[in-house]
């Protein structure tokens, strides 16, 4: 069986919601191949690629919610007027200090165990806006530095991570079901063209 999903923006990773998995007829625990075809605005095939077999797995439910990060990536030519960096792929990660960079395979010590530091991947819209979720570790509280990596050479990399205040996690109980609540972190990154 062949299922398809149309994406209209550049993607670094592909994730499905539970309803998308059902809609596409995919089954958790089964093996699949992913074929990606890039199509031009004139509806001609630019290129295509296919993955090796991979196993569809459900992600475990985390007790710590993923932090919603909403922001904008702006660029300037001379430092006067800023414009949204459109359709730009970026990576975000909490880092130890303002000069630290996003590292996909970095570790953090959490209660004596070393775990991977989560990274969020997102592509900005036509105005440079983005919204994404970044998994949190139990040590991601209070003020932390949020680093950005621009996945491409079109814009200059941002040297310093932003200091952000991570909102406290609250709980709400409805009919015996506990839900976690947390405010969104808003950020504004500025770079050079």
Q: How far apart are CA 75 and CA 70, in angstroms?
A: 17
pLDDT by position in tens, the chain (length 193): 566 666 665 666 667 777 777 888 888 888 888 888 888 889 898 888 888 888 888 766 556 778 999 999 999 988 889 999 999 999 999 999 999 999 988 888 888 888 899 999 999 999 999 999 999 988 898 999 999 999 988 899 999 999 999 998 888 888 877 788 899 999 999 998 7
Q: State how far Cα 58 lies from the chain centre.
A: 18
Instruction: Note the pTM of the prediction, 2 decimals.
Output: 0.68
For the chain, which domains are there? 18-55 (no CATH), 67-192 (2.60.40)
φ, ψ dihedrals at 68, nearest 5° = -80, 125
One-character DSSP codes across 17-47:
-HHHHHHTT--TT-EE--EEEEE-TTS-EEE
């Amino acid at each position: 069986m062949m299922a398809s999903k149309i994406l209209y923006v550049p993607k670094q990773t592909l994730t499905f919601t539970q309803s998308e998995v059902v809609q596409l007829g995919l089954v958790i625990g089964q093996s699949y191949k992913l074929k990606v075809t890039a199509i031009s605005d004139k509806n001609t095939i630019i290129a295509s690629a296919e993955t090796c077999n991979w196993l569809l797995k459900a992600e475990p439910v985390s007790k710590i919610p993923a932090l919603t990060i909403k922001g904008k990536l702006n660029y300037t030519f001379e430092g006067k007027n800023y414009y949204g960096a459109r359709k730009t792929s970026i990576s975000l990660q909490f880092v130890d200090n303002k000069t630290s960079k996003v590292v996909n395979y970095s570790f953090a010590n959490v209660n004596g165990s070393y775990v991977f530091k989560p990274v969020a991947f997102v592509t900005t819209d036509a105005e440079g806006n983005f919204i994404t979720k970044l998994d949190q570790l139990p040590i991601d509280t209070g003020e932390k530095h949020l680093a950005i990596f621009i996945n491409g050479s079109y814009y200059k990399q941002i040297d310093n991570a932003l200091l952000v205040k991570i909102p406290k996690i609250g709980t709400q109980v409805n009919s015996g079901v506990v839900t976690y609540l947390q405010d969104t972190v808003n950020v504004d990154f500025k770079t050079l063209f």
